[in-house]
């Protein structure tokens, strides 16, 4: 997502709709202009001429409004993005791990977030993952770390079950 999209999310949703409406209105106007004048007069009796003129005036007004809005939206799009402040500010978050190995988690996350501004490091001594990035990036990484930690716990629990000796079978009594 571009910085401009975060600053003006509705702009990007309305722009294609406005363009489609504007082109549709222009196509209607062009289609009626291509008909020969005599045919238009035959199709529209004199009583309907006033209605058509009124409708034409309404459409022209709509086109003017849409054109103004389109120009305003283009100006917003070209305007430099305003620094959003806390959302763009860099933060440091420390994630302590219980069972997963911090360097392995950090490597997996680095591969996943390669090419972004987020920085991730695994500290094996304290078994923590350090994440530096914007609040949005950290909020996206936190559930991933929690899920990877849960998977590591599940894996260790499965290994313990495999290593545990089987329950002794009933012993037969000797006569």
Look at residue 36 in the predicted model and tell me its pLDDT: 58
| Mean of pLDDT values over 101-130 | 93
| pLDDT, tens digit, 9 for 90 and up, residues 55-105 | 889 988 898 888 888 888 777 777 655 444 555 689 999 999 999 999 999
Look at residue 134 in the predicted model and tell me its pLDDT: 92
How many residues would you count in the chain? 175
* Residue 12 or residue 109, greater confidence: 109
- Sorted by sequence, the CB contacts under 8 Å of residue 25 that are 6+ apart come out as 59, 62, 63, 66
* Residue 43 or residue 156, greater confidence: 156
pLDDT confidence bin for 116, thresholds 50/70/90: confident
CB 141 within 8 A of CB 97: no
Identify the bridge partners of residue 128 per DSSP, sorted by sequence position.
Answer: 96, 123
Please say whether the dihedral angle defined by the alpha carbons of residues 53, 56, 61 and 64, taken in this order, is positive or negative.
negative
* Residue 11 or residue 131, greater confidence: 131
Look at residue 1 in the predicted model and tell me its pLDDT: 46
- What's the predicted TM-score (pTM) here? 0.45
- Sorted by sequence, the CB contacts under 8 Å of residue 108 that are 6+ apart come out as 148
Which ranges in the chain belong to alpha helices (H)?
Answer: 3-7, 9-34, 37-43, 46-78, 102-112, 135-163
* Residue 27 or residue 69, greater confidence: 69
Question: Does the structure show a pLDDT above 70 at 5?
Answer: no
| pLDDT, tens digit, 9 for 90 and up, residues 121-157 | 999 999 999 999 999 999 999 999 999 999 989 998 8
């Amino acid at each position: 997502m571009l910085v401009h999209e975060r600053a003006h999310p509705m702009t990007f949703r309305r722009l294609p709709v406005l363009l489609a409406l504007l082109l549709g209105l222009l196509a209607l106007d062009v289609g009626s202009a291509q008909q020969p004048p005599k045919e238009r007069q035959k199709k529209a009796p004199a009583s309907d001429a006033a209605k058509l003129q009124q409708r034409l005036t309404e459409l022209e007004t709509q086109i003017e409004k849409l054109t103004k809005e389109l120009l305003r939206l283009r100006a917003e799009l070209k305007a430099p993005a305003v620094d959003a402040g806390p959302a763009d500010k860099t933060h440091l978050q420390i994630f302590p791990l219980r069972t997963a190995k911090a360097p392995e988690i950090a490597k997996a996350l680095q591969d996943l977030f390669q090419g972004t501004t987020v920085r991730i490091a695994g500290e094996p001594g304290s078994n923590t993952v350090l994440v530096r990035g914007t609040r949005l990036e950290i909020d996206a990484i936190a559930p991933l770390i929690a899920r990877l930690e849960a998977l590591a716990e599940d894996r260790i629990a499965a290994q313990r079950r495999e290593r545990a000796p089987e329950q002794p079978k009933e012993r037969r009594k000797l006569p």
